[in-house]
Structure 1
Amino acid sequence: MQFVTTILCGGAGSRLWPVSRELHPKPFIRLGDGESLLQKAFLRAAELPGVAEVLTVTNRDLLFATQDDYREVNAAGLPLSFVLEPCGRNTAAAIAVAALQVAAKYGADTLMLVLAADHLIADQNAFEEAVSKAKELSAAGKLVTFGIQPDMPETGYGYIEAEGNKVLRFVEKPSLDKAQEYLASGRFLWNSGIFCFAAGTMLEQMKRHCPEILAATTACVEQSRTASGKDFAQIELDAESFAKVPDLSIDYAVMEKSDQIAVVPCSIGWSDIGSWTALGNLSEPDQDGNRIQGEALVHNTHNCIIQSNDRLLGAVGVDDLIVIDTPDAVLVAHKSSAQDVKHIYAKLKASGHEAHKLHRTVHRPWGTYTVLEEGNGFKIKRIEVKPGASLSLQMHHHRSEHWIVVRGMAKVVNGDQELYVNTNESTYIPAGHKHRLENPGILSLVMIEVQSGPYLGEDDIVRFEDQYGRA
């Protein structure tokens, strides 16, 4: 029987701002060992026995960052497929599309394991044992959820009341008193958001309990674009029809209504890393209880979470604070208010401030750019282009650009000219000129771009040709 793992990669990660942004959400945060949460999810999925492929559901704007992360860890060359969403419509829609894709490719009896990209699981052996049990139940026609054995009265998680593998009921996030009662009873489990089922079983239950979601998703898939290659496939969902899919979680849409639900109780070292406190607790504290990442000096400071990877940070005479420094934003919060960081993110988004969406360093399919400085009428960027990669053939109405190569060699289209620009050389591109930048070498190309003009927004771009399908 075929077995496919599905990773749901999205969300805003608003409680982990300013490291997490809309276009750099929580799954892409790198931990102390250098791996991102997404990479850890991929390795967790890839190491399971019998996996035919890893299918990832993500926002289409995150595709290239996802592929970059996978490229670093997919040493075995496991086949990959992607469902690209134009907007978020919650987990019911995401799982419906994934089940439709798996059933069409492998058959309705194919078993699927659904994982979130932003969870941590510390005990891989216990996880594999739980998956093995879940696969048995799924093969018998059950929709299986994984219930985590609680070790404290957590109010931030939903709960499952269970007897063995039988689900008695799902419970919303409780008050502290209720959570203490649940813990003492021994009958309640944390709802992990991990699922296992046969693709056909899920589709049958969706047809029964949320037919409008399944119908709208099926119609969307029929209107969507597909692409495939060696060990690779993707479907880019049609924006107009996908926006019509009802926004509902899989728990509300199916799991809480179906009579075919089972649970696998497990202790797998699970955490959903839902706040800076949870993330900070992954590192060992110093003698004063401080958890420090990066370059920081502290004096008379206790029980703080401090992160500063780009510059020196000093803390004097403070206790129980979260201090997160990034190149364009600093967060200072009391540890007791870690869950309220999302309100800062919400205010930034409501005001249209770029800091909710992007870092100063922005990932593109061809590499990265970093905004070094900007002011009235000018912007300075550091641009790094991967070997063999190329930017689109494009034009700007309002800005001119001066490119200075500082490492490598650039192949440049500038109007009617095609030229090579070596290290310590430059070229000037007037507004209105078609131009393209390419790295023909085997090493990364690094250049400084100086923009000048009355409008320097990223939307002042007309693409004529693009190897990444953005023209």
Structure 2
Amino acid sequence: MYTIILAGGFGTRLFPLSRSNYPKQFIPLFGDKSLFQKAVLRALLFSKPDEIFVVTNDTHKFLVNDQLRQIAVSCNVLEEPCGKNTLPAITYASLKIYEKKKEAVILVLSSDQLLEEGEVYTSAVRAAEKLTREYIVTFGVVPKTPHTGYGYIRPGDKIGDGYKVAAFVEKPDIRTAEKYMKEGYLWNAGIFCFSADLFLKECRRYAPDVFDAFKNDVLEAYKRTPKISIDYGLLEKSSKVAVVPFSIAWNDLGSFEALYSVSEKNEEGNAVNFEYVTPDGKNNLIISERLVSTIGISDTAIIDTTDVLVICPTNQTQKIGTISELLRQKNDERVDTHTTVQRPWGCYTTLLKSETYLDKRLILNPHNRISLQYHNHRSEHWVVVSGIAEVTNGDKLLTVKAGESTFVLAGTLHHLANPGNDALEVIEVQNGHPLSEDDIFRCEDDFHRETK
């Protein structure tokens, strides 16, 4: 079995934990692994590493590769030139798999869902696999509550261990959701299973504008294909769609209210990731890296990051996306990036910032280096905190150890490399004006980023 993992979203529903450049699928919300990493490990239940295809975008491709490296899994990574929703992404990957094996059975997973893995899950996938010669199979979660945040599926006639899909329905109001539960409707989990040849045949028939677009190279295909989901573009039109129910713990973590529902809580109903002191607070979600204290606050989400604090009633967290939109209208960079920014060579964290100076903490992964570059408007002073740095500073090649430093004058060609087996930590002090990532002129780059 092959697996497609969709990892291209720019989710803002968990802002400020998630940002456009660091969406929720890459955040380790539970334990030390991200939702994306959990999805990859789940894919390994049925697929070999070279049978897994991750679909992502230019912004996240290095983050995907870094997180794959962390769990020691090497699989196929497909880069979308731009996001066009789920149907083009699945079609792109399915065509790649079809080239390898025309009748391949494909499982499609989202990278940002939390679900219970076990016998019920594996049995449902195997049941779906048996139906893939005749049907595109989707999975329906047996609802435990009348949830208004999910789409629903109405099962039709019984076929094998599943049902023909009678209808897909939109997110309901609470009364309609209660009615759906009583009538046996299922939550639409956004997980699919099908054979490559049947999927592409149905795509050609019901979404010819998507299918025909991919007769071109990938850049041209994404220019031509419409932006459309697999539900609207294909599943709601095809008569060859089935649903396999499974009764497992499943959550798409689409809001902090959803995150609170699956988090461990204390006796007062508070879900806390660090320190929280209160004489009376109950049923709160507290996410912070420092002590939080409240008086007279209950049923509230308090999300505290280094640069943004969000406070709202837990039952209003579905609206947090509007905060991201307001910031985007102001061209505020905080909607896109944290103070810590991932780079293909490691990451950097902004410590202090003014108009004329900027302090950063750089972490270079073992055997990685930044691009050979220069800046027109700033100088840089590097202080090695731990590890050994190999520095190109103009025509000099230097070895800089912990406690030592070097100064790079504006306009000087320079390089910072980590030749060791441990992470290299460097404090960088920039001086100049303006201080911007646009003032990076790359001459050589190991990661084939734009050079100037």
TM-score when normalising by structure 2 = 0.95
Which residue is 1:7 aligned to? 5
Identity %: 42
1:4–1:51 Cα contact (<8 Å) kept: no
- What CA distance in whole angstroms lies between the structure 1 residues aligned with 2:344 and 2:62? 5
Aligned-partner residue type, residue 193 of structure 1: G
Q: Check if 1:178 corresponds to 2:158.
A: no
Q: Check if 1:442 corresponds to 2:421.
A: yes
Greater mean deviation of Cα atoms: 156-165 or 14-23: 156-165
Which residue is 1:94 aligned to? 89
Q: Check if 1:109 corresponds to 2:103.
A: yes
2:49–2:75 Cα contact (<8 Å) kept: no
- What CA distance in whole angstroms lies between the structure 2 residues aligned with 1:58 and 1:141? 29
Q: 1:347-366 alignment to 2 at 5 Å? A: 347-366=326-345
- Deviation, 1:400, is 1.2
Q: Render the CA deviation track for 1:154-189: whole Å, top value 9, x for unaligned.
A: 111111111331111111111222111111112x11
Greater mean deviation of Cα atoms: 47-56 or 442-451: 47-56
- What CA distance in whole angstroms lies between the structure 1 residues aligned with 2:52 and 2:249? 22
Aligned-partner residue type, residue 19 of structure 1: L
Q: 1:321-400 alignment to 2 at 5 Å? A: 321-400=300-379
2:274 match: secondary structure: strand
Which residue is 1:273 aligned to? 253
1:5–1:51 Cα contact (<8 Å) kept: no
- What CA distance in whole angstroms lies between the structure 2 residues aligned with 1:244 and 1:332? 42
Structure 1: 4+ residue segments shifted above 6 A: none
Aligned-partner residue type, residue 62 of structure 1: H
1:281–1:291 Cα contact (<8 Å) kept: no
- What CA distance in whole angstroms lies between the structure 2 residues aligned with 1:116 and 1:49? 15
Q: Check if 1:460 corresponds to 2:447.
A: no
- Deviation, 1:147, is 1.1
Which residue is 1:125 aligned to? 119
- Deviation, 1:339, is 0.2
Q: Check if 1:134 corresponds to 2:128.
A: yes
- What CA distance in whole angstroms lies between the structure 1 residues aligned with 2:85 and 2:348? 31
Aligned residues: 445
2:130 match: secondary structure: helix
Which residue is 1:246 aligned to? 226
- Deviation, 1:323, is 0.2
1:4–1:54 Cα contact (<8 Å) kept: yes
Aligned-partner residue type, residue 250 of structure 2: W
- What CA distance in whole angstroms lies between the structure 2 residues aligned with 1:180 and 1:32? 30
Greater mean deviation of Cα atoms: 89-98 or 264-273: 264-273
Q: Render the CA deviation track for 1:253-298: whole Å, top value 9, x for unaligned.
A: 1100011111111112211111111112222221211111112222
Q: Render the CA deviation track for 1:400-449: whole Å, top value 9, x for unaligned.
A: 11111111111111112211111221111111111110011122111111
Aligned-partner residue type, residue 294 of structure 1: F
2:408–2:414 Cα contact (<8 Å) kept: yes
Q: Check if 1:159 corresponds to 2:159.
A: no
- Deviation, 1:12, is 2.4
Which residue is 1:40 aligned to? 38
1:9–1:58 Cα contact (<8 Å) kept: yes
Q: Render the CA deviation track for 1:377-411: whole Å, top value 9, x for unaligned.
A: 11000001111101110111211111111111111
Q: Check if 1:296 corresponds to 2:276.
A: yes
2:214 match: secondary structure: helix
Which residue is 1:286 aligned to? 266
- Deviation, 1:247, is 0.2
1:242 match: secondary structure: helix
- What CA distance in whole angstroms lies between the structure 1 residues aligned with 2:31 and 2:274? 13
Q: Of 205, 209, 214, which residue of structure 1 is paired with 2:206? A: 209
2:84–2:227 Cα contact (<8 Å) kept: yes
- What CA distance in whole angstroms lies between the structure 2 residues aligned with 1:31 and 1:277? 14
- What CA distance in whole angstroms lies between the structure 1 residues aligned with 2:151 and 2:393? 57
Q: Render the CA deviation track for 1:173-210: whole Å, top value 9, x for unaligned.
A: 11222111111112x11111100111111111111111
Unaligned runs of 5+ in 2: none
- What CA distance in whole angstroms lies between the structure 1 residues aligned with 2:391 and 2:177? 62
- What CA distance in whole angstroms lies between the structure 1 residues aligned with 2:217 and 2:331? 30
1:10–1:27 Cα contact (<8 Å) kept: no
Root-mean-square deviation (CA, aligned residues, Å) is 1.5
Aligned-partner residue type, residue 197 of structure 1: F
- What CA distance in whole angstroms lies between the structure 2 residues aligned with 1:294 and 1:307? 7
- What CA distance in whole angstroms lies between the structure 2 residues aligned with 1:319 and 1:85? 43
Aligned-partner residue type, residue 431 of structure 1: A
1:61 match: secondary structure: coil
Unaligned runs of 5+ in 1: 222-237
Which residue is 1:259 aligned to? 239
- Deviation, 1:73, is 2.5
- What CA distance in whole angstroms lies between the structure 1 residues aligned with 2:47 and 2:95? 23
